[in-house]
Amino acid sequence: MLDISRVRAITLDLDDTLWPIWPTIARAEKALHDWLCPHAPMAAALFANPAALREIRNHVAEQRPELKHDLSSVRRESIRLALYRAGEDPLLADPAFEVFFAARQQVDLYADAGPALEFLAGRYPLVSLSNGNADLQRVGIGRFFRAALSAREFGVGKPDPRIFVAAAGAVDVQPEQVLHVGDDATLDVLGALNAGMQAVWVNRSEHQWPYEEQPHVTVTDLTQLCDLLR
């Protein structure tokens, strides 16, 4: 059960908690493909083939394990490898990635997310905690957050307890004073619980909880969370 009296700060997951990620990625990949068509048509053809694209990304992940937590670099190097295999200029990888990355920041917030951020930020210091590569300022929600931690910058990602502890430290509180909010049962909830935090599972799609250890509370949207914290 959630103990509101303990909460001194809130950490928030981003992708699939504040906005749906796969429509965002699909639009960004289309923007990338549309840019490649006139600039590198042979590479564009590779990127139009899901199996080829998956093989390229897997190859980069295997050959560059140091990029495990850096989704931006994995994406950029995948583009570079596709260009190389297509016999086109690998130097185009940087501007091509920028096209993808700009589109990746054009998210559609869930209807409850904006009002919830206003409410939560008015009562608690907020820290974003993500394994992804969203840029809070470019997304347009940076004003709500005191700090932002990503797996890319920190070097390890959720569910590693160290990144949760670091997020608490970013706003000068102890992990047990933090409420973590996220959609992923493993990465968000178990990670937070193992770091000594309270955890809210945002279950928008009626998934079954898969573990014996339970979140402190489950909500179907962020409006329910705000109601609990009023």
The pTM for the full model equals 0.93
Structure confidence at residue 46 (pLDDT): 86
Q: What is the per-residue pLDDT for 52?
A: 84
DSSP string, 39-67: H-HHHHHHHT-HHHHHHHHHHHHHH-GGG
Give the residue carrying structure tokens 């945002």: 202
Question: How far is it, in rounded angstroms, from Cα 173 to Cα 81?
Answer: 43
pLDDT (0 to 100) of residue 216: 98
pLDDT of residue 68: 85
Q: Which CATH class is domain 22-104?
A: mainly alpha
Give the gyration radius of the chain's Cα atoms. Answer: 19
Tell me the pLDDT of the chain averaged across its residues: 96
Ranges in the chain annotated CATH 3.40.50.1000: 4-19+109-229
Q: What's the pLDDT score for residue 43?
A: 95
The Cα–Cα gap between 122 and 125 comes to: 8
Residue range 96-112: average pLDDT? 98
Contact predicate 196/85, CB 8 Å: no
What percent of the chain has pLDDT above 90? Answer: 91
pLDDT at residue 35 is higher than 90:
yes
pLDDT score for 33: 94
Instruction: Kindly report the CATH number that applies to the domain delimited by 4-19+109-229.
Output: 3.40.50.1000
Q: What pLDDT was estimated at residue 123?
A: 97
- Residue range(s) of every CATH 1.20.120.1600 domain in the chain: 22-104
Predicted confidence band of residue 2 (pLDDT cuts 50, 70, 90): very high
Q: pLDDT value at position 131?
A: 96
- Can you tell me the mean pLDDT for 104-132? 98
Summarize pLDDT for 39-48 with one digit per residue, the tens: 999 999 988 8
Q: Say which range, 9-23, 59-73, 202-216, has the weakest mean pLDDT.
A: 59-73
- Confidence band, pLDDT 50/70/90 cuts, at residue 53: confident
